[in-house]
Amino acid sequence: MAGDAFQKFGDSMNRAITKLSVKTSSSFEKSKIKMHIESLTKDVQKMLTDIGEEVYSLWLNGEYSVQSLSEKLEEIRQKKDEIEQLSAELASIDDRDNAILGTKAEAEQKAESVAPQKMCCPNCGSEYEPAAKFCRKCGYKLQ
Ligand SMILES: [Zn+2]
């Protein structure tokens, strides 16, 4: 639908918009999946708690058998499977985004360019990391 409009923009603008829309739709997609995972996880936790209560009361009455719980246990397994699938989906969205946007490479490059610039101790001239409080060589207070 936006094909014509996009043609008015320069290449870089076009790419920026594409990146933005990919990011926006992905984060929306991801937050939906995350919410789904969260609610499934809550379900599973509640079901496990319920089963625990049930096992306990069955055991109290001497009626405990795994058979009577198998339906619920199966349901829990299905939910856990679903959580796993959703997590895999999340990971694949990240992979896809990284493939489209090159964000991983960009992020790595960025990290590299911001990476520790060496500073020199004003006292003895030896290099220290920006986070260092004292010079490792002479103990001079750096911050
Ligand atoms: Zn020093």
Q: What is the CA radius of gyration of the chain?
A: 27
Residue 2 has pLDDT above 60, yes or no: no
57 compared with 42, residue with greater pLDDT: 42
pLDDT tens track for 62-100: 877 767 788 889 999 999 999 999 999 999 988 888 887
Tokens of 109: 């490059």
Distances (CA, A) of 122 to 3, 115, 117, 126, 133: 58, 21, 15, 8, 13
What contacts 11, CB < 8 A, 6 or more positions away?
Answer: none
pLDDT tens track for 98-113: 887 775 556 566 665 5
Contact between 87 and 100 under an 8 Å Cβ cutoff? The reply is no
- Please report which helix (H) or strand (E) contains residue 120, including its range: strand 119-120
- Using the mean position of ligand 1's atoms as its centre, give its distance from the Cα of residue 115 in Å: 21
- Using the mean position of ligand 1's atoms as its centre, give its distance from the Cα of residue 134 in Å: 8
115 DSSP 8-state letter: S
- Using the mean position of ligand 1's atoms as its centre, give its distance from the Cα of residue 32 in Å: 52
Residue 116 has pLDDT above 60, yes or no: no
What does 28-84 look like in DSSP terms, one character per residue? HHHHHHHHHHHHHHHHHHHHHHHHHHHHHHHHHTT---GGGGHHHHHHHHHHHHHHH
Give residue limits of the domains in the chain.
3-101
For residue 58, the model assigns a pLDDT of 85
133 DSSP 8-state letter: S
- Using the mean position of ligand 1's atoms as its centre, give its distance from the Cα of residue 137 in Å: 5
pLDDT tens track for 14-49: 777 777 777 778 888 899 999 999 999 999 999 999
For tokens 């933005």, what's the residue? 20
d(CA 20, CA 26): 10
By three-state DSSP, how is residue 119 classified? strand
